[in-house]
Amino acid sequence: MKFVLLLVFACTLTSAASAQCCFGRLYINHTVNGQPFDTNTVYEKDGYSFKITALRYYLSQIELVYKGGHVVKLTDLYLLVNANKTQLQLGNVQTGEIDSIRFHVGVDKEHNHLDPSSYTFNHPLYHQTPSMHWGWEGGYRFIAMDGYAGTTSQTLNVNYQVHALGDTIYTAVSVPVLDVDDGDGDPHLHITADYAHALAGIDLMLGPIEHSSEAEAATLMQNFGSRVFSKGAVTGVDDDDVLRQSTLHAYPNPSSTHVVFNSSFPDNTLLVLTDMLGREVARTTFSDSRAMVSLTDLPHGSYIASATHNNSVQSIRVSVAP
């Protein structure tokens, strides 16, 4: 009887460990009219030109929907999306093929009116620069989009700011994902965001300065809820070629002293090492297809190394040995 109970207990532990074995990443392919998003690029809309100089937004109440309908909620996970950055870390997730991701754009009411100072400095809900917090009553800016518009690409002289905030426009989204197996056992979830669709029904030539839950801000949020997101693909044709040719390798791994990275990414490609909470602990750049990071000052455990070229990201898990 004791043997049976011990066997059941051991199996339970094994099952629990395997259920949370993987480190999930979400990749958002940021685009405008199908083109890669860039703050310096001028786009066309309704006969006029515009550019987006800044775009950030919050995702919360994130859930993963697995094949067969199993749903896993990623508790207390808040993501601050910057349209200049592709990769977001989801933390430890369950194994299995993931069909879609569900989230809300914004911050849930329970946390929307708390003091940002109550969070640690590296938490997405802590004070940001520029600020993503409107004040105790208004809460966080759920979406902050700034830029310029004009009749031609040379005359972008109309400033616009559309910041959506307020509990009443907290918006749910469900998006099918491309679940890519990069050979490391971790889920790499890809979705696409096209911010031209976010501007449907908004005339930027009027120079809207709207920080509220009404007018253009409400329209922006509605578009985020129904138009912006779609199933992803590994970014662009050229970036796909770079990714296929630039698989990231690390050795020695595990290591207690240093790790060398090999890749065919171009010189000066940035490589960032983060801990499992997404905090940056080291960075370097590639030269002659190599990059090196010292590990001597890091606690032992697992880290994620990510090399970014244009909108493409290659990642690999690195283990720091005791």
Residue by residue, pLDDT tens for the chain (322 residues) are 444 444 444 444 334 434 556 888 899 999 999 889 999 999 999 999 999 999 999 999 999 999 989 999 999 999 999 998 888 989 888 888 899 999 999 999 999 999 999 999 889 999 999 999 999 889 999 999 999 999 999 999 999 999 999 999 999 999 999 887 666 678 889 999 999 999 999 999 999 999 999 999 999 999 999 999 999 865 443 444 444 445 678 889 899 999 998 877 788 888 899 887 778 899 998 887 789 999 999 999 888 888 877 656 778 888 899 8
The answer to whether residues 271 and 152 belong to one domain is no
Q: What's the rounded Cα separation, in Å, for the pair 186 and 179?
A: 10
Domain shared by 205 and 96, yes or no: yes
Q: Which domain holds residue 269?
A: 237-320
Q: Residue type for 106, please?
A: G
Residues in the chain: 322
Asked if residue 207 and residue 132 are part of one domain, the reply reads yes
Tokens, residue 210: 């709207």
Bridge partners, 100 (sequence order): 65, 176
Q: Collapsing DSSP states into helix, strand and coil, what is residue 263?
A: coil
CA distance 212 to 203: 17
CATH number for 250: 2.60.40.1220
In a domain, 56, yes or no: yes
Same domain, 200 and 248: no
Query: Does any domain span residue 249?
Result: yes
In a domain, 119, yes or no: yes
* Type of residue at 199: L
State the Cα–Cα distance between residues 301 and 298, nearest whole angstrom: 9
Take residue 127 and report the two structure tokens written for it.
């004070």
CA 137 to chain centre: 27
Going by C-alpha positions, the residue among 17, 23, 16 that lies closest to residue 318 is: 23
Residue where a domain stops, chosen among 187, 205, 231: 231
| pLDDT confidence of residue 4 | 44
Among 174, 201, 231, identify where a domain stops: 231
Neighbours of 257 (CB within 10 A): 10
223 and 179 both lie in a single domain: yes
Evaluate whether residue 30 is within a structural domain: yes
Q: How far apart are CA 300 and CA 315, in angstroms?
A: 19
Quick one: 243 and 227 in the same domain? no
Is residue 248 included in any domain, yes or no?
yes
pLDDT tens digit sequence for 237-287: 344 444 444 567 888 989 999 999 887 778 888 889 988 777 889 999 888
Compute the CA torsion angle 286, 269, 88, 64 (nearest 10 deg): -80
Residue 7's pLDDT is 40
Residue 171: its pLDDT value, please?
97
Whether 148 and 104 map to the same domain: the answer is: yes
Q: How many domains does the chain have?
A: 2
Residues 6+ apart with CB under 8 A from 225: 105, 171, 172, 173
Same domain, 222 and 256: no
C-alpha–C-alpha distance, residues 57 and 27, integer Å: 15
Query: Is this structure's pTM higher than 0.75?
Result: no
